Chain A
Amino acid sequence: MAKIIVITSGKGGVGKTTTAASISMGLAQRGHRTVVIDFDVGLRNLDLIMGCERRVVYDFVHVINGEANLSQALIRDKRCDALYVLPASQTRDKEALTKEGVGKVLETLSQTYDYIVCDSPAGIEHGANMAMYYADDAIVVTNPEVSSVRDSDRMLGILASKSRRAENNEEPIREYLLLTRYVPERVQRGEMLSVEDVQEILSLELLGVIPESQAVLNASNSGIPVILDAESDAGQAYRDVVARYLGEDVPHRFLDTRKKGFLSRLLGS
């Protein structure tokens, strides 16, 4: 049985797709058979971030409607054999994702894969509900900014009440906080909510902190999940996140400002 992970947030633009791409790549690189699914019907973007947009023939909705089978729609990643992408439909109506249809696809995938990563659309509408409904674990992507934190909290309420696990009175979804676009310098100046602040408000287990990084834009420009940029801070932070998710005890990095010497501070460099 596969473990189903939803990457969610409520608010848009906080880094869900970047995170889904990197975490699925990270899991696959460690040898786990992984499939990442784009639930954003109508506004698909995961294929672009994964760099497989020109290989999309069939999509998630085709499979649900029986117009294609899974093996036709799944795109094998060229960089990692253990990773497959199931793209969203660009044209269809959001309602095309039915609870039964999604459930069937996930059940079939469950038999072959170790991890199913669901990239949720923004908002708290149908697509987001479908992405989280069958989840075992949820990674709540949050920026250190008021509207993002509030939306994350609303999403936590939905995870706790509207998921399959909640409806069946099963053990609740395991929820993790992933703080992205973090700028330690601004936190130190008191201009940005700190990790501790956000954690205190949301009371969630911290899976990791991804620093604001030029590498993220570079990666999306070229269609390469940023985790593959092993030199970059964001890439390394995502590697840590994957290790931590798999139960390894990895200390948090990139939380502090780079230490400046007395002289360089004095000279303002």
Chain B
Amino acid sequence: MDLLKYFRDSQPPKGSARVAKERLRILVERDRSGRNQNQPSYLPDLEREILAVIQKYVDVDPTDVIVHYEQEESQEILELNIILPEGASETGQVGGVP
């Protein structure tokens, strides 16, 4: 058994840490943009409506849509990040409806 383990150990790690990091990255980004008081007041509504539109077509989790607003000296950046589930399937009859 230990012989097997020796060879298994040399393979690239695939554990839950990778998932943890990805979840945290998204969460922290979200928390931080919520803290940013300079963001326009329409942002939460925008996020909700965009989410509603996307959910009409794809089965995404509410936490997987991130609207990020950033203000730099000469420009404002509105970043929209949607994480589609693996093997995203169409939920409605949208698209191919006769």
> Which positions in A face B, CB cutoff 8 Å?
145-146, 149-150, 153-154, 157, 161, 187-194, 197, 200-202, 265-268
Q: Kindly identify which residue among A192, A200, A201, A202 contacts B17, using a CB–CB cutoff of 8 Å.
A: A192
Tell whether A193 pairs with B2 under 8 Å between CB atoms, given A149-B24, A153-B32, A201-B25.
no
CB-based nearest B residue for A150: B27
Beta-carbon nearest neighbor of B13 in chain A: A190
Q: Smallest distance from the beta carbon of B14 to chain A beta carbons, Å?
A: 6
- Within the complex, what minimum Cβ distance (angstroms) separates B38 from chain A? 12
Q: Is the CB of A154 within 8 A of B31?
A: yes
For the complex formed, measure the closest distance between the CB of B32 and the CB atoms of chain A, giving whole angstroms.
Answer: 7
Min Cβ gap A126→B in Å is: 20
B interface residues, Cβ below 8 angstroms from A: 1-3, 5-6, 9, 13-18, 20-21, 23-25, 27-28, 31-32, 35
Q: List 11 A-B contacts (CB under 8 A).
A: A146-B24, A153-B28, A153-B31, A153-B32, A161-B35, A193-B21, A194-B17, A200-B21, A265-B2, A266-B3, A267-B2
Residues of B within 8 A of A188 (CB): 13
Contacts of A267 in B (CB 8 A): 2
On whether A157 and B17 interact (CB within 8 A), knowing A146-B23, A267-B2, the answer reads no
Determine if B9 and A193 form an interchain contact, defined as CB atoms under 8 angstroms apart: no
Between B24, B27, B32, the greatest number of chain A beta carbons within 10 A of the residue's beta carbon is seen for B24
Q: Are B6 and A266 in contact (CB under 8 A)?
A: yes
Contact of B18 (CB < 8 Å), options: A150, A190, A266: A190
In the complex, what residues of B have CB within 8 A of residue A200's CB?
Answer: 21
Task: Please state if B20 and A268 are interface contacts (CB–CB under 8 Å).
Answer: no
The dominant DSSP class at the A interface is helix
Chain B residues lying within 8 Å of A193, measured Cβ to Cβ, are: 17, 20-21, 24
**In the assembled complex, how far is the CB of residue A193 from the closest CB belonging to chain B, in whole angstroms?**
5
Q: How far is the CA of A141 from the CA of B87 in the complex (A)?
A: 39
Question: Which residue of chain B lies nearest to A157 when distances are taken between CB atoms in the complex?
Answer: B35
Most buried by B among A190, A191, A265: A190
With A190-B16, A201-B21: A157-B31 Cβ-Cβ less than 8 Å:
yes
Residue pair A146, B20 in contact (C-beta under 8 Å):
yes
In contact, A268 and B2 (Cβ under 8 angstroms) = yes
A244 to chain B, nearest CB (A): 25
- B25: A residues at CB distance < 8 A: 201
Task: Check B13 against A197 for contact (C-beta < 8 Å).
Answer: no
B17 contacts A187, C-beta separation under 8 Å = yes
- Smallest CB–CB gap between B82 and chain A, Å? 21
Say which residue of A146, A190, A194 sits within 8 Å of B14 (CB atoms).
A190
Most buried by B among A146, A150, A154, A161: A146
Please pick, from A157, A191, A194, A201, the residue contacting B16 in the complex, using a CB distance under 8 A: A191
Contacts A146-B20, A267-B2 given: A189-B27 contact, CB under 8 Å? no
